[in-house]
Amino acid sequence: MNFIRIVDLISDVKKQDKVVFLLRHAERRHITKEDAQFGANVGLTEEGKAQAFKLGALFPTIGDASYYSSPVGRCKETAAFIAKGRGDTDSNSPEKIEVLDALGNFFVKDYDSYAEALKNNFYQNVVDYIKQGEHPAFLPLKEASEEFKEILLEKSFDQWNFFLSHDAWIVPCLSHFLNIEFSLNRWMNFLSGLAIVISPSGNKLYPVTGLQDGYINY
């Protein structure tokens, strides 16, 4: 299944629909191996800020929007720039974005194992996790993905609901719900993720991107 551009998804959304977006933050600065915080304090690039603003500007101003973020700054920045692009003055700065802890660490089962995974080929650990469905650092993939989705749905009251998180938690969801395949050479792009369209006829899930392509090739 190919990623759908968010601009195309928007055009198909009906007035009575609600949409939940679980998105990776916009482009960030590079995280080095020497970073003792494993990138926790790494912010967006200027291009990343522009990406998020442009995405927000694609959305119609009709219909309310809500914004939630991981506690990590680049996710709050992304949410704020999306809101700024859409013209939502109540959410147009990182300080105004509601933090949802689940967007930062929900899949973590054991923090010692998680810290070890961060130090040693973290993305390979995530790839192993989505292939096997389990990992010492993470909750079982199937059960955790289903529960994570329910958390998002329970917080989605407006027509447009934005949840900004990290690739490590979105990739498992895309793998579980939509059988999207990832590898170290073909990873999920910034401003990409999962959309849930909630309509009177039921819910539909889509892989979406706010950029030209939902994948980054290395």
CATH number at residue 204: 3.40.50.1240
Name the residue among 110, 152, 153 with its Cα closest to residue 129: 110
Q: Is residue 34 part of a domain?
A: no
Instruction: Answer yes or no: is 195 within a domain.
Output: yes
Enter the tokens of residue 161: 């609901």
- Which residue range forms the structural domain that includes residue 175? 4-29+40-217
Q: What is the pLDDT along the chain (218 residues), one digit of tens a residue?
A: 799 999 999 999 999 999 999 999 999 865 545 544 555 556 899 999 999 999 999 999 988 999 999 999 999 999 999 999 999 999 999 999 999 999 999 999 999 999 999 888 999 999 999 999 999 999 999 999 999 999 999 999 999 999 999 999 999 999 999 999 999 999 999 999 999 999 999 999 999 999 999 999 98
Q: At what angle do helices 46-57 and 73-86 cross, to 10 degrees?
A: 40
What pTM was computed for the model? 0.94
Q: How many domains does the chain have?
A: 1
Q: Where are the beta strands (DSSP E) in the chain?
A: 4-5, 18-24, 65-69, 98-99, 160-165, 186-188, 192-199, 202-209, 215-217
CA 40, 45, 49, 52 torsion-angle sign: negative
Residue 83 belongs to a domain: yes
Half-sphere exposure of 94 (CA within 13 A, CB side): 14
The rounded distance, in Å, linking the Cα atoms of 117 and 44 is: 24
